[in-house]
Structure 1
Amino acid sequence: MVLLSRIMHPCLFFLVAWSAAGVVKGAAAEDFLHIHPEKPVVEYGTSVVLNCSSSCAPINLETSLKWAEAGTGSTWKSFNFTEVDQWSVAPLCYVNCERTPLDRRANFTVYRAPERVELDLPQKMEVGKEYNLNCHVVDVAPIRNLTVTIFKGGKPLLEKTFENHTKPQPGNITVTYPITVEQQDHNESITCHAALDLRPEGPLLEKPSASQLLEPVAFPMDPLLESPLSAEIGTQMTVTCEVTGVFPAEEAMFELSFAGENLDLSIHVLEETASAQALVHLPSIGNHELICTVSLGPVKRSVNKTVTVFALPKPIPEDDHLKVVVNTTVNVTCKLDGVKSPGVVMQIKDKNQTLASSEDSFIINYEVTTCEEDDGREFLCIAQLQVNGTEVTKNASVKLTVFYAPRITNTSCPSVLTWKEGSMEAFICSAHGNPPPTVECRRDNMVYHIGVQQQIMREHKGVYHCNASNAYGSDAKDVTIVVEFFQLNIVAVALSVLGAAIIISMVTVGYYMYYRSHKVRKYRLKQQAAGNPMEQKCLNGGASV
C-alpha cells in the first residue's frame, strides 16, 4: 500500500481508496445492519412498526413520515410510523461502524383496496349487435398488483393485469369487453371481479361487482299496421299494430297515435307475436297520420299510414214515392244535408241511364212527363266520391206510381174463343190499368164468371160484352165464343154401308170366276195326257230318246 502511494498520483490513490471503502461499506451494511420487514405492505393511512438492528450504535432513521420510537435495545431499535400518508415511501436506517456509515432502506408498498367495482352494461341488448361491457374499479393502488376478470355464467370472458403500470398512486381502472348476445343468453349472469394481489408480503384483496343479468332482445322486422286507408267522418275504425318474431314479446311497448292524439290500447301476446289494437273515432275530414311505434329494449321501430277521413251524406229524395196521373209532369228531386267532402257528384239514374248529374251541389232534380210505361219506374238518387282511387257511393230510391184508365187488348182478352163441346175451359178476360181495373163480362144480362173452369156446352156460344173500369176510366170489348160439337149424318151412313156391300159382292164374284177357270183347265190337260202315252210320260217329268 505504501509502495502504491509512492508510485501513484495522490488523487488517483484517493479514488481507489474511496471505492474500496464503498465495497467494504456495502458488505458491512448487509452483515451489520438489518431491517425488518424489508418490504412492508401497508394500507394507506394506517400505522406500521419498522425494526432496525445492528451491532453498531447508535441506530438512526431518515424518513419524511411521522414516527415515534416503539422500543429500543443494545442492538436494535423500533420505529412506529403512526400514519403512512404517502404513496412512495422508503425509510432509511443507518449507523456508523468504525467511522464507516452503513444504511438500509425499507421499500414500502402502500395500498388501497378497491373502493367500488361497478359493472356497466346496457340493460337490454339487441341480438346479433355488438355492445361494450365495461367494468370500473374505483380508487385502487397499486394498480400494478391489480387483476380484473369478467365472468359470464361463472366462466371467465376476460382477464386483464397491469404489470406495466408503475405509478404507486391510486387510480380508476376501466376494463372493456365487446360482447354480442344471442337469444339463448337470456338471464345469464355477468360479474366483474377485482383482485389486488399483494402476496407474499401482503394480503390478497378481492372485490366483486354486483351481478347483472343479460337481457337480449330480438326485433327482426318492422311492425305491421293494419287499418283502412279511408273512413267516413263520425264513424269508428279499428286499427291493429303487430310485431312478429320478437323476444321477449311480453316486453314490447306500443304507442299508437292518430292525428297527433295517443290512443287507448289493448295489448295481446301469443308466443313471439305481440299486437296492439285501438278504436279510433273520426271527428274531422281530411288526411290524418296514423303512427305505430314499438319499443323493445334499445330497439324502436315505427310505421305510419295516411288515413283519409271523408264526409259523404246519404242523398235524401224530396219525395220517395211519387203518385201522379198519366201525362202529368213531375220533378224527381234529391238533396244532401250536412257536411260533405269536396268532389261529391250527385246523379239521378234509372235502370237504363244517367238522367241528371251535378258536382259539388247540394240539390239536383229531373223532370219527367209520365206515361203508362212509367208506372212502377224506380229512380236512384246517387252521391259519389272518389277516395284514394276508390269510388264510395250512397243512394236512395224514388218510386213512381202512374194512374191511368183501363185498356183491353187482344192479348189480355181475345176477340174470339173457340171451344169444343164437353171440354173444360175457363173464360179469361183482363185489362191493363192502374189501379187494377174491375172486369165484368155479360151475355143477355147474365154475368159470366171469369177465370172459373166449367164444362162447355152448346149453350155457351154467343157474344159476350166485357167491360173494364177503375177510378180513371173504362174500356169495353165484345168476345165471341164458338162451340164445336158432333152431329150424326144418316144419309152418309147409308151410302157408306151400300158402298161396302157393293165392294164385297164384286170381290166375291171375281174370286168365283178365277177359281172356276183354273180348275177346268187342269181337268182337260189330264184327259189329253191319258190319250197319248208319250205326252203322259212327259207330263210325269221325263223323256228318253
Structure 2
Amino acid sequence: MMGYITLSGGLFLTAQLLALLVMTEAGQNCTGKEPLIVPPALVVKYGDPATATCRVPYNAMMGWETPEGAKQEDNVRQLVWSVDRVTDWSLNGTISCYAVSDHGQCQTCLPIRMYKAPDNVILSFINHTGPLLEGKNYSLQCEVQSVAPVKNLTVIWFRGGDELQRSGCPEFTIEGDQSQNVTVSTNLSITASRKDHNTSYSCAAQLDLNTAEPVPVTRSDNILLEVLYKPAVESSMEDVSLTEGDRLELNCTADANPTSAFEWKHDNKTLGNNNSTLVLESVEMDSAGVYECVASNDQGQVSVTMTLTIRRNYLPWIVAVLVVVALVLLAVFFGSYCTYHKKNKTGAYILAKFKGGNSQNGQVAHTNGNTV
C-alpha cells in the first residue's frame, strides 16, 4: 500500500461527479479530451505519502493545482503528483489536474479525503474515584484525542466483551476545528449493580470511511469496576425436624462486598458462633426453636430463619426397661432353680476310710441314713 487508498465506485458520490466535470476555456469543448486521473479519488491517512497520475492522449502543457506539491511541465502526456507526507489539512477536499493544448484548457478534479486515527482513547469516570455503590448512578466519559473526520467517527461502548451501544456525531462534545483533527468526548450513564463487580468497561473509536480496507479500531484501556453491596443470602435454610440426639448442621452463605460477617441466633438469643456454618453435634429437646442467620457488612445486612422441631428419642428408655425386665426374669429363674435343687437333692455325705474291708475304694456313702 502506498499511503493512499483507492475508493470503490460508491464512495464520495458528489466528489466523483465533480471529478467528471470538464472545464473549458475560450469556448473550446473538452469532451473526450479531459485529463484522466488514476486513482479517481484518494483517502489518505494523516502523515502518510500520497500520489496520483494525470494522463491525456495528446501532448500538452500539464499541471497540478494544489496547496502542496503543485507542479507544471510542457509537452507531456502525463504528470505525477506526489507528496511524501500529507500533513496539510488544506488538501482535504479537491485538487485538480489541467492540460493546455490546441483544444484549450481542460481540467479534472481529484477528490481527497484525509483522515487521522486517534492519538489515544481514554475512558474515565466523571467526578468520581474509588469503588461504586450499588444502586447509584455514574457517568463514564470516553475521550477520543486528535481524530478526523469527526462526522465519520463512531464511539462503541463495551461491557466485558459485549457491545453495549454506539454513539455518533450528534452526541459528541467537540473541541477544535472540525475541518482538521479534533478531540471528541461522549458519555455513558450506568447504574452500579453487584453484577458489575469485577466487570470491565471500555470504549473504542471507529472511523467508517467505506474503504476497501477498514481503518483499524482504536480502543481504550479497560476500567475494572469495584462495586460495594450489602449481603444477599445464597443458601436457603428450610425447616427441619430431628430426633433427640441427631446432628444438626446449618449453612448460611452470602454474596457481599466487602465480605459478610455472620451472627447466629436461637429464639432471638445470640449464639457464640460467628462462622457461616452452625453445627450442633447432638440436639436436645431445648434445642428446638427458631434459628436465625444474620449476614452483614458496612453496606447493610440481611437475615434468614428456619424452625427446628425435636422428637423425643424413646429408644434409650425402651432399652432400659428391657434390661430391667431381663434382670428381673433372670433373678426369678435363678431363685426358682435354687429352691428346686434344695428340695430334691439335699442329703448328708459321710466319707469314711476303712483300714481294712471289702470296699474297693475304701469309702462308704450314707444318704438319708442308708448305706450305699
Structure with more relative contact order (C-alpha pairs < 8 Å, separation 6 or more): 2
Computing the radius of gyration from Cα coordinates, the structure with the larger value is 1
Instruction: Report the TM-score when normalising by structure 2.
Output: 0.50
Instruction: Report the TM-score when normalising by structure 1.
Output: 0.35
